[in-house]
Structure 1
Amino acid sequence: MQAPIPATEESVVSTDMDIEIVREKRHLDVTHSYACNSKNNGECDSGPETPTKTGTSKKKAKVNMENEPQLSLLEVQENIIRVLTSKTDEINNHMNDIKKLVNKNTMEIEGLKKSADYCFLEVADLITENTALKSRCEALEGKMQEMEKKVNEMDAYSRRMNLKMYGISESHGEDIRSKVVNILSAVLPDKSKVEAAVDVVHRLGRHSDVNGGNTTKPRPVIIRFSKRDTRDAIWSASRNHGYLKAHRLWFKQDLTTVDKEKRKQLWPIVDKARKEGKVAYFVGSRVFVDKNEVFAD
């Protein structure tokens, strides 16, 4: 058998055209044969009834009308099979490429999934750790607030032994203790008791020389007593005392920063109560109106 011819679209078209030519030749031969039989008892001449391209029509080879069309159809079938086989191979190749791509993408997705799972576990661990740290910070914050409260209470308790005095003139090389004892003796007549109760005396803030050593605004003086009863007696006697008013001197309690802030917040209550004719006063950072403690809203 003849070797198979590679199947192409041109070969298929060429085969179709060959089939059509064979069919036309068969039709012409049949017509021509019929005409010859009817005119000359089966013999044909080259008369005008049968036009030909050349005068050599008698030399044409007799066409095998039975076998040639069948061979042509067989070739067409073989060519079609070859084309389909080629297309099938191409499709299979494409499918293989797609499978490889799908497998590659699947592996990448699996890798991403593993990474995502790892990140999820890391985030979960961080959330757990953060929750633990948050609880610990809240506990430490509570302890710190409690410690700050206790420190402020201790500081306030220690400051209860102190009094601040304002208005004492300041000079270079002064004996501030003697000045304070003399003033306190004017407020509380028992000088020996006062002098024994005064522990430490000094000015607050930085020293600034003005006008040859005298300051235009003297610094306040802090007085620390060794006896609480003497300090309280002087504090009570200093209110509306004539000597202090005449010399423009006054006392204040030595409050902590926290207590000062509390009193600042509570001052409107005291001011309002006093304007209404009520008795309002501070005890440390606490407010009393008509002997009843009042709290801020």
Structure 2
Amino acid sequence: MKFTLRRFANKVRPVALALIGYVCLVLFVSKEQYSLNKQIERMLVRVRALQSEQAKLGEIQERFVVDINKTDHNIHALDAQIEQLVQHTKRYNLIFMGIPESENEDLTDAVRRLADESMGISIGEKDVEYAHRLKGNGTKPRPVLAKFARWKDKTRILYRRKSLPPEFAVEEDLTEFQMMKRRKLMMLANKAEAEGRRVRWSGKILFVDGKEIKLSDKVT
């Protein structure tokens, strides 16, 4: 009997050990799985937090884009207002080239005499508010900027400037933006003429083949 029990115990022992090992392995794997699940849960929490932060950053970026667009629009609107003000201050001005320089010169009188003697336009003493020399590029005589009290006096001189002797010239006092637009129109006019198209100017307005050519009024 003792021999039978011993034989049975010897046979059962490996199975019991294997079962105990399996149970231990299951417990170990379960513990590791639990730990892994906890790590995954923490990672998911972090991922959700990152996604939330990303969404918030996206909203902030959209607000920044809107603010930048508003700022850009406001800047262009302000630039346009400044341009209009500068154009208004220059509206009654003309620039005269060729008036000889002299000591103690009276430039308002020089402008009046040039208009009278060369263009047959009589300008009263008070019709020229002021006149002064501009900074030249090293050549003399330096240009003279004159501001007229009346719009019609300025326009009369512009219309008759072709009657001036060749050593004299008269130009409008334009802003940088106006000069840029004029240069673009001149380039378009030259290109159209080179292509054999009909080009006509009506004051400052350019017509090509009977169609008015317009440029953007946006200040850049």
Range class of TM-score, shorter chain: 0.7 to 0.9
Counterpart position of 2:45: 114
Counterpart position of 1:280: 201
Distance (Å, rounded) in 1 between the aligned partners of 2:113 and 2:184: 36
Decide which of 113, 128, 133 is 1:182's aligned counterpart.
113
Whether contact under 8 Å (1:280, 1:290) holds in the other structure is no
Counterpart position of 2:19: 88
Amino acid in structure 2 at the alignment position of 1:234: I
* Alpha-carbon distance change, 218 to 104 in structure 1, aligned in 2, over 3 angstroms: farther
**Structure 1 position 204, deviation (Å):** 2.5
Identify which of structures 1 and 2 has the higher relative contact order when contacts are C-alpha pairs closer than 8 Å and 6+ apart. 2
Counterpart position of 2:170: 251
Amino acid in structure 2 at the alignment position of 1:89: I
Counterpart position of 1:198: 128
Whether contact under 8 Å (1:187, 1:234) holds in the other structure is no
Decide which of 120, 131, 152 is 2:83's aligned counterpart.
152
Number of residue equivalences: 214
Q: Spell out, residue by residue over 1:170-211, the C-alpha distance to the aligned partner (whole angstroms, 9 max, x if none).
A: 4666544443333233244455x3432111222223x78xxx
Q: Spell out, residue by residue over 1:221-275, the C-alpha distance to the aligned partner (whole angstroms, 9 max, x if none).
A: 221111111111111111x2143x1xx1111111122222222222133333597
Counterpart position of 1:29: none
Whether contact under 8 Å (1:164, 1:221) holds in the other structure is yes
**Which residues of structure 1 form unaligned runs of 5+?**
1-66, 209-214
SS at match of 1:168: coil
Distance (Å, rounded) in 1 between the aligned partners of 2:130 and 2:170: 16
* Alpha-carbon distance change, 157 to 134 in structure 1, aligned in 2, over 3 angstroms: same
Counterpart position of 2:180: 261
* Alpha-carbon distance change, 177 to 296 in structure 1, aligned in 2, over 3 angstroms: closer
Q: Spell out, residue by residue over 1:144-175, the C-alpha distance to the aligned partner (whole angstroms, 9 max, x if none).
A: 32332333233223322111122334466654
Structure with higher Rg: it is 1
Calculate the TM-score normalised by the size of structure 2: 0.78
Alignment pair present for 1:241 and 2:163: yes
Counterpart position of 1:77: 8
Q: Spell out, residue by residue over 1:16-70, the C-alpha distance to the aligned partner (whole angstroms, 9 max, x if none).
A: xxxxxxxxxxxxxxxxxxxxxxxxxxxxxxxxxxxxxxxxxxxxxxxxxxx8xx8
Deviates more, 1:83-92 or 1:115-124: 83-92
Distance (Å, rounded) in 1 between the aligned partners of 2:121 and 2:180: 36
Amino acid in structure 2 at the alignment position of 1:87: A
Whether contact under 8 Å (2:128, 2:146) holds in the other structure is yes
Q: RMSD in angstroms over aligned alpha carbons?
A: 3.2
Amino acid in structure 1 at the alignment position of 2:29: I
